[in-house]
Amino acid sequence: MRMFEAENVHSFYGGAHVLQGVELHVPEGTLVALLGRNGVGKTSFIRSVAGMAPPVVRAGSVRYRGQELLGKPSYQIASLGIGLVPQGRHIFRSLTVVENLIMAARGSRSGDQPAGAPWNLNRVWAVFPRLAERQRNRGSDLSGGEQQMLAIARALMTNPSLLLMDEPSEGLAPVIVQQLRDQMLMLKEDGLSMLLVEQQLGLALAVADDVYILDKGTVVYHGSPGELRSSPDIMHRYLGV
């Protein structure tokens, strides 16, 4: 069953046509990775899906469990059960870890049971023990890796059924990326559906069930991680590896 479907999405920054007919599907309970070089439209796609302007979506359809998202404000999209881990983290630096988490907390939407047990502070501490240790620290006191953990945990506190993650490994040390991989695998085991935008190919292929590659605003590849590993020409042409 497809939880999320984007069909023929065209988005613009002013006169710049940044997404040119993007099509992408996230089946229930899977992690789908969207890959590509810098500047090809990955973050623009996440912003388009989440109702964040710019860019402006001028054509296409984005459906979540059959409900059209285009035209809805971002707060309504979030209320449907879609969580967002934005590029750059955007935590509240003047608030403590606990305050960042509590302000995002909400129960599941009526009729929408999120994957696994409900997310609350105790469950966050179990999955992110470092945040438990730093719970009284302000966001500005955290390391980059701790801030990323907080951004993910904050999104989970909304009890989403679909989690959008935009470049979660950006700027992180390899040991923290390994922890991030383990946490994403744990979330996937719980049945949480995820759409991951990522630059680190190794991380994406380790966690994804399905892979799309974006180039110049268009999907140029769709396949399994294993199929992509067996296509070095595709990886070299579109990912530079």
Q: Is the pLDDT of residue 153 over 80?
A: yes
In a domain? residue 9: yes
pLDDT of residue 88: 86
Domain count, the chain: 1
Q: What is the DSSP string of 133-179?
A: HTTTSBGGGS-HHHHHHHHHHHHHTT--SEEEEESTTTT--HHHHHH
User: 6, 34, 35, 9: which is closest to 21 by C-alpha?
Assistant: 9
In a domain? residue 224: yes
Please, are residues 198 and 168 in contact by the beta-carbon 8 Å criterion? yes
In a domain? residue 11: yes
> Domain span at residue 48?
2-92+160-239
CB neighbours of 178 closer than 8 A, spacing ≥ 6? none
In a domain? residue 166: yes
In a domain? residue 204: yes
- We report the CATH number of the domain holding residue 35 as 3.40.50.300
H-only helix segments in the chain: 42-50, 74-79, 97-104, 121-127, 129-133, 144-156, 174-189, 201-207, 225-229, 232-239
* Mean pLDDT calculated for residue range 20-46: 96
pLDDT of residue 171: 85
pLDDT tens readout for residues 189-218:
999 999 999 989 999 999 999 999 999 999
Q: Is the pLDDT of residue 19 over 60?
A: yes
Cis peptide before 27 (omega within 30 of 0): no
In a domain? residue 211: yes
Rounded CA gap, 54 and 150, in Å? 25
pTM to 2 decimal places: 0.92
Rounded CA gap, 113 and 118, in Å? 9
pLDDT of residue 106: 83
| DSSP secondary structure code for residue 96 in this structure | B
In a domain? residue 30: yes
pLDDT of residue 111: 47
pLDDT of residue 110: 44
In a domain? residue 150: no
Exposure string over 179-217, b if 16+ CB within 10 A, otherwise e: bbbebbeebbeeebbbbbbbebbebbbbbbebbbbbbeb
Q: Is the pLDDT of residue 107 over 80?
A: no
pLDDT tens readout for residues 167-177:
999 888 899 89
157: left (phi over 0), alpha (psi -120 to 50) or beta: alpha
pLDDT of residue 2: 79
